[in-house]
Structure 1
């Protein structure tokens, strides 16, 4: 059986995982513990590592069963087909999250207006402002050099 990625409504990941388990679907919603601060207190809360994603393990013929659960929107697709996650990748995520020597895990995406410092390449150590983010590249403004840089990026994960 393959692992697929189900896209959920925002903030519904834990509810969807719970309901999928109740109807007998093997699922995995990786959670991390964060400290949230309100005006009157701090509290440790478990939040999903991947926003709006839950991993489900089922056969190709049973893929429509997930739509019985409220909060499920669709499957994540890659190259026109439902994205399949290798079992080794799920094991790696579980292993990393259970490792007590790792104290802070987060996934960050750059967005328009973010200020960054380039760490490698010909422009290393230059400060830049992100002007645009697309599926394949960033457009950066290098103020100190007075130029705009269009930079392709590759997704590692």
Structure 2
């Protein structure tokens, strides 16, 4: 069975994960502890590592069953197909969150000026510089090839 990424309504990750478990769908919502500060106090709270994402493991034919749960919006797609996360990657996330030596974890989107290495697709193993970031796409400069790449996402 594959792991898929379900996009949820904002701040619904834990609720969706609970409801999916209740109807028998194996899911994983990685949580971290953050210290939130208000004007009068500080408090440790459990927040999702990935905003609006929950991982679900099920057969390809059963993918629509997640939409029985309020708050599940859609699947995350990659190259026109539902994004699949490998078992090893889920295990790495789980192990890294259990590591007592890790004091803080943050997931940040790419920023303009970041230098990255493309890991898949036609331009695999190419170095790129992030030129633009928007809600619908990234624009990357591939200096070694002398071209600009626009990557759209859903």
Q: Which TM-score band (shorter chain)?
A: 0.7 to 0.9
How far the C-alpha of 1:108 sits from its partner, in A, is 1.4
How far the C-alpha of 1:153 sits from its partner, in A, is 10
Root-mean-square deviation (CA), in Å?
2.7
Aligned to 1:136: 138
Aligned residue pairs total 131
Matched position secondary structure for 2:32:
strand
- TM-score, normalised via structure 2 length: 0.75
Aligned to 2:124: none
Matched position secondary structure for 2:104:
coil
Q: Which has the larger radius of gyration?
A: 1
Aligned to 1:74: 74
Q: Provide structure 2 residue ranges, at least 5 long, that are not aligned to the other structure.
A: 117-129, 142-146
- TM-score, normalised via structure 1 length: 0.74
Please show how residues 75-154 of structure 1 align to structure 2 within 5 Å: 75-110=75-110, 132-134=132-134, 135-137=137-139
User: 1:83-113 CA deviation, whole Å, 9 max, x = no partner?
Assistant: 110000000000000000010000112567x
How far the C-alpha of 1:136 sits from its partner, in A, is 3.4
Contact 2:35 2:42 in 1 (8 A): yes
